[in-house]
Copies of this chain bind each other. A is one copy, B any other.
Amino acid sequence: MSDPVGEPPTPVWDRPPPARRRTPLTREIVVAAAIPIADAEGLAAVTVRRLAAELDARPMSVYSYARITSKEELFDLMVDEVSAEMLLPELPPDWREALRSIAIRCRQVLLRHPWWVELVGQHVLLGPNGTRYREQNLDAVGGLGLDPESRLAIYVAVQSYVVGQAMFTLDEEASTPAAPAVGYQAALIASGDFPNLAGLDPHRPTTPEAHEQFFRRGLDWLLRGIAASIEPPAG
C-alpha cells in the first residue's frame, strides 16, 4: 500500500523508468480522486496525504496542482462537483412534477454521497453547479406568477425537507441492530415509559424501498401544502 509500484515482478532494469507523469495532475483529477474516498470511507478519510499517495504525488503538490489554499477549498470543489449530479436534463412542465423530480433526484445523489450533507451546512451552494441547481429550482415554479421571494421560499422548503430526510435515511441505514446504542434504546423502551415508541413494530421494513416510500409521503404532504397556498381551493 505504501509502495506505489507494488511487488515488482521483474528486475528494476527491465522496468521502464517512470514517466515524468502519465497525465499532469489537475484540479479535476484531485477532486475525482477525493469523491470516491469520501463515498466509501467517509469525509475523515479524505486527507491531503492520502490523496497525495493515491495520486502518486507529494502532499504539497495536491495544493499546487489543484490550486487550492486549504483543504476546505477542496471540500468546496467536491460539493460543487456533486451538485452537478443533481441537475435534471429537463424540467417537467407541471410545477409539482418538476419539484417532485428535483427532490427525488437530489435524494438519490445524497444517498450516493452521504458526506455532501455534512459539508453543505458550512459550504454554501455558491459554486457554478450549485448556482445552476438553485436556478433550476426557482425555474420549477417559474410559471406560476409568484414573486421571487415566494419562489425562493418554496425552494428552501423543499430542499430543507429533502436534505433533512436524507439524513434520517442515512442514519437508519448506518445504525445496525448490533450497535450498543440500539440495545440501550431497546432497554429504555422496555421500561414502559415510552408507550408511543413501544407501539412501533420493531420488525418494520428498513429496506431502501421502504425508506423511499417514507420519503415520498412527506414530500407529498409538503407539495400539497404548497399547492393549497398558491392555488386557492377551487369550487
Contacts and interface: CB of A to CB of B under 8 A. Distances in A.
**Identical chains bound together, number:** 2
Given A76-B181, A118-B121, A196 B148 contact: yes
Contacts of A178: none
A149 interface: yes
Question: A117, A131, A151, A164: which has the most chain B beta carbons within 10 Å?
Answer: A164
Contacts of A226: 221, 225
Contacts of A217: 153, 157
A194 interface: yes
Contact of A221 (B117, B127, B195, B222): B222
A184 B224 contact: no
Contacts of A164: 159-165, 167
Contacts of A174: 122, 124
A138 interface: yes
Interface in A208-235: 214, 217-218, 220-226, 228-229
A20 interface: no
A126 to B, nearest CB: 4
A182 interface: yes
Nearest to A185: B126
A181 B124 contact: yes
A131 to B, nearest CB: 5
Interface stretch (A11-19, A51-59, A197-205): A197-205
Given A139-B196, A157-B217, A163-B167, 8 more contacts: A127-B184, A135-B196, A149-B201, A156-B214, A157-B222, A161-B164, A161-B222, A221-B225
